[in-house]
Amino acid sequence: MSSKNIVDEGDLILLVFDEKRRWLVKVEKDKEFHTHKGVIKLNDVIGKTYGSSVKSSTGAKFRVFKPLPRDYILKMRRITQIIYPKDIGLILLYSGIGPGWKVVEAGTGSGALTVVLAYYVRPDGHIYTYEVREEFQKLAIKNIKNAALEKYVTFKLKDISEGIDERNVDAVILDMATPWLVVPHAYEALKEGGSFVSYSPTIEQVQKTVFSLLKTGFFDIITIECFTRRILVREGKTRPATSMISHTGYLTFARKIT
């Protein structure tokens, strides 16, 4: 995913006009991509070096990048709520999810978090991701295939609150409406010292989850919220951005003890 630096047929690229106008595009032979600034022939993109540019039919210049994790998250097709890069960054650093880890995730949703988790456990780790709604899973499978990460992911059409099949996993990560119902199953599935993560928008979800973790034998339970603010650096006019996302979800972390 990182070594090759030339666009091949079948690659997923990030096409950028400016900060707002950018798309994830699958490079298919003889296809076109339509923008507000004219049509881009995808054949023109094949063979380009990442970081270079391509011109549309109207002569507008578009940059061609290899998508970074944040590009996948912010630009992939989705039918569910997004989880933001800032939150996934914290998840990695606080849970330890990284190369070689075996991770259980639920729910899959549109697969944004799945893509990033798969990216970071490569090449020896694996993601087992649970989802109950088939249409979500279908979209997620498509998104993971576009990112060429499918070999690191097992998709399960199953209600995780009825149990987790895997054992001795390094981490369990929940982005679902009722995480507290999964806490005892997470305990069973995790290896000793393993990481539990839950992401929830409401404070009541956090309370139920934390109280369940306390009862089930987890340790080092902490809940965090994370904010990011853009700084607009302009000659003589530097200032923070006017508005920001002020809430996505609370992150709760814990470790299994015995």
Site for a second copy in 235-254 (CB under 8 A): 235-248, 250
Cβ proximity to a second copy: between 99 and 162 the closer is 99
CB–CB of 127/156 below 8 Å?
A: no
Q: CB 219: neighbour CB atoms within 10 A?
A: 13
Beta carbon of residue 138, minimum distance to a second copy (angstroms, whole number): 26
| Residues in contact with 71: Cβ distance below 8 Å, sequence separation at least 6, in sequence order | 14, 22, 24, 65
Tell me the C-alpha distance between 133 and 22, whole Å: 29
Cβ proximity to a second copy: between 134 and 237 the closer is 237
Cβ proximity to a second copy: between 79 and 245 the closer is 245
Q: Can residue 230 be called a binding residue for a second copy (CB under 8 A)?
A: yes
Q: Which of residues 65-124 bind a second copy (CB under 8 A)?
A: 65-66, 68-70, 73, 85-86, 88-96, 98-101, 116, 119-124
Q: Can residue 207 be called a binding residue for a second copy (CB under 8 A)?
A: yes
Mask of contacts with a second copy, 140-179, x by CB under 8 A? ----------------------------x-x---------
Cβ proximity to a second copy: between 89 and 184 the closer is 89
| Residues in contact with 75: Cβ distance below 8 Å, sequence separation at least 6, in sequence order | 14, 22, 23, 24, 67
User: Which of 121, 109, 84, 116 has the alpha carbon at shortest distance from 225?
Assistant: 84
Cβ proximity to a second copy: between 50 and 138 the closer is 50
Q: Can residue 184 be called a binding residue for a second copy (CB under 8 A)?
A: no
User: Which of 195, 191, 176 has the alpha carbon at shortest distance from 249?
Assistant: 176
> In the beta sheet, which residues pair with residue 23?
15
